[in-house]
Chains A and B, each alone.
Chain A
Amino acid sequence: MNCKEARALFSEFYDRELNQEICEAVKEHLTECQECKEEYKNFRKSLKILRKLKVLEAPRNYMEITQRH
């Protein structure tokens, strides 16, 4: 597996959506290639940041709208 192929699979690798054989190939590439290893580390971190977005409570019960219609 080369760098281009590995990077195209980062998303599915992160989500554990790859079959075992391809997953092992990506893992092997990341062990051998420092640049891709770093790239994947940053890929993961940016998603960790995205998940910092807070979840809010709904401001009201939307069932109420059906009472008016």
Chain B
Amino acid sequence: MNIIELSLIENARRGDSHALNELFSQHQKYIFNLMLQLTGDVAQADDLTQETFLIAFRKIHSFRSQASFRTWVSRIAINLSRLEFRRKPKHYSLCREKITVPSHQDNPERVVIKSELQWCILHNLQQHLPNKYREVLVLRDLHQLSYKEISEILGWNMSKTKTYLLRARQMFRQQFINNKCKAFADDYLCICEGILEL
């Protein structure tokens, strides 16, 4: 953790709302996307992010700086998302219309392909990967967190993190092929990045 973050945490603990605002601003996009990738639902991700920061706000006084602020809020958020998952039906359909594609410059056909690909990725993450595998995959491959930080967030030793990450990556690839999402990936990548063979 760097000195600036330590100072922000220290000030936030003392009730400095500017310091807390700075900490929240630095991490809210990350937490929102983490929740979106783990739940697949924008509204739910918004709710969980809100709940995460509410807990962080209430518990900042007890935060001891042994981990980074990101590690700490990630733990809160992931625990909340796990509770949410327990309430969900085992296999539900993600609504394709709900998938947001933030590009406005592409032609309509490209937007559809992008949207389909986004849907496939989210669907495979939500529906075909057990929680632990989804979490480790998202933290590593979508947020590029180090093995050490992932281990701290998930409460695992390094060896377990490595093992689960390997399995998660293998599972994701297999599901992507089994669910025929490969076709969208081919369409998508053919145009801009060459043909993809999975």
Contact = CB atoms under 8 A, between A and B. Distances in A.
28 contacts: A12-B162, A12-B166, A17-B162, A42-B197, A43-B173, A46-B169, A48-B196, A49-B121, A49-B185, A49-B196, A50-B137, A50-B141, A51-B142, A52-B117, A53-B37, A53-B122, A54-B100, A54-B118, A55-B29, A55-B33, A58-B28, A58-B31, A58-B49, A60-B46, A61-B25, A63-B20, A65-B54, A66-B17
Contacts of A69: 54, 57-58
Interface of B: 17, 20-21, 24-25, 28-29, 31-33, 36-37, 42, 46, 49-50, 53-54, 57-58, 100-102, 117-118, 121-122, 137, 140-142, 147, 162, 165-166, 169-170, 172-173, 176, 185, 188-189, 196-198
A16 to B, nearest CB: 11
The 3 closest A-B pairs by CB, nearest first: A46-B173, A11-B166, A62-B53
Contacts, number: 103
Nearest to A57: B29
A60 B53 CA distance: 12
Interface of A: 8, 10-12, 15, 17, 42-43, 45-63, 65-66, 69
A62 B198 contact: no
Nearest to B158: A17
A66 B57 contact: yes
Contact of A51 (B29, B141, B162, B176): B141
A56 B53 contact: no
Nearest to A53: B121
A43 to B, nearest CB: 6
Contacts of A50: 121, 137, 141-142, 172
B137 A46 contact: no
Tell which of A48, A50, A61, A69 has the most Cβ of chain B within 10 Å.
A50
Contacts of B142: 50-51, 53
Contact of A42 (B100, B147, B173): B173
A33 B29 CA distance: 43
Given A54-B101, A56-B100, A62-B24, 7 more contacts: A11-B162, A12-B162, A45-B197, A54-B100, A58-B28, A63-B17, A66-B54
B141 A56 contact: no
Given A43-B169, A49-B185, A63-B21, A54 B197 contact: no
